[in-house]
Structure 1
Amino acid sequence: MRAETADTKSRAGRRTIGLSAQLIALPRRHREEQQAERAKARQVWKEDDWVFTTATGRPVCPYSDYHEWKDLLASAGLRDGRLHDARHTAATVLLILGVPERTVMAIMGWSSSGMARRYQHVTDGIRNTVAKQVDGLLREVGEEGDGLSEEAN
């Protein structure tokens, strides 16, 4: 058995997640492009039900992802990073969006909340948002006259 077709390492590796309409459009477009490749390759195409294939339907070399990831980062002008770092980014985006921890755990396939601490990173944007919320709260309390006394100033 090839590693590419082996079962995932745990039940959490197989899970249902929600996708936005924009994300759903990407694999549909990929499928259309692959159907065009299939038609162009004709009898050379090897049909094995792979989602990502070479131009002749064969499985993509696992190292291709690595090189494509590195090229993508470079062309976008981003710092070099591992493909796995994208999981940290995804988890941090869920934190920025305010997604409840239990939902984040289900989406990311985590069995313990400690994984959130490892993967989610507090950004300057989050810190600034909290500072503005505190500032707004202090203004509201001060305006009402029941939270900030003259002695506190």
Structure 2
Amino acid sequence: MRQIARFLSRSATGAGRDGRDEVPCRASCRRSTVGVGRAAQASPTEQDTERATAAQLWRDAGYLFATPTGEPINPSTDYHQWKRLLARAGLRDGRLHDARHTAATVLLILGVPERAVMGLMGWSTTAMAARYQHITNTVRDDVAKRVGGLIWGPPEVD
């Protein structure tokens, strides 16, 4: 959270040479994003409404993602909200991270192009697709039908 606050304060003053703001990370990475800091500060947001509602209770620590009083979100909040969501939906228990694997696999099943999947999932390399997308029986069956169609022609209809 502190990195986000520092990033927002830096990005409010200017962007890199190519109009992108650098995201704090290890020295070896070169991640960037397009104007997140300025966009977050330039337009009215839900946080502005929360700030007005909280009035003197608001603690402006510069966090993009904050509680209704401006304080940092407890890291376990996502965990507990995820568990409640699964229970209410009547779904089996699972980790929030597992939902990323599910989303990536669903995109594979839907035939979404790899570059689009990489953009949606925030991946910088195609190796991440191999890690997150899982080949299902549906995908195997579809591939088998396509290959069979190419080799032996379309199946005969009775």
When normalised by structure 2's length, the TM-score is 0.58
- Counterpart of 2:29? 11
Higher helix content, 1 or 2: 1
2:29 is matched by which residue type in structure 1?
A: R
Structure 1 CA distance for aligned equivalents of residues 116 and 30 of structure 2:
13
Residue 111 (structure 2) aligns with: 98
- The letter for the 2-side match of 1:123 is T
2:133 aligned with 1:120: yes
Unaligned runs of at least 5 residues, structure 2: 7-23, 35-42
Residue 14 and residue 77 in structure 1: after superposition, are their counterparts in 2 closer, same or farther (change >3 A)?
Answer: farther
Q: Structure 2 vs 1, CA of residues 129 and 52 (structure 1 numbering), >3 Å: closer, same or farther?
A: same
1:61 corresponds in structure 2 to 74
Residue of structure 2 equivalent to 1:19: none
Unaligned runs of 5+ in 1: 17-27, 144-153
Counterpart of 1:79 in structure 2 is 92
Q: How many residues align?
A: 128
Distance 1:54 1:136, change over 3 A: same
Q: Which among 48, 52, 57 is matched to residue 35 of structure 1?
A: 48
TM-score (ref. length: structure 1): 0.60
Deviation at 1:101, TM superposition (A): 3.1
Question: Percent identical across equivalent pairs?
Answer: 53
Q: 1:131 to 1:101 in 2, by over 3 A?
A: same
> Once the 2 structures are TM-superposed, how far is the Cα of residue 91 of structure 1 from its aligned partner?
1.4
4+ aligned runs moved over 6 Å, structure 1: 134-139
Larger radius of gyration: 1
3-state DSSP of counterpart to 2:96: coil
Q: Distance in 2 between matches of 1:12 and 1:84?
A: 24
**Superposed CA RMSD:** 3.5
Deviations 1:43-88 (A, max 9, x none): 1111233232222111111111111111111111122111211221
Q: Which has the higher contact order (CA 8 A, sep 6+)?
A: 1
Structure 1 residues 94 and 55, CA, compared in 2 at 3 Å: closer, same or farther? same
Please tell me the residue identity of whatever aligns with 1:80: D
Match for residue 148 of structure 1?
A: none
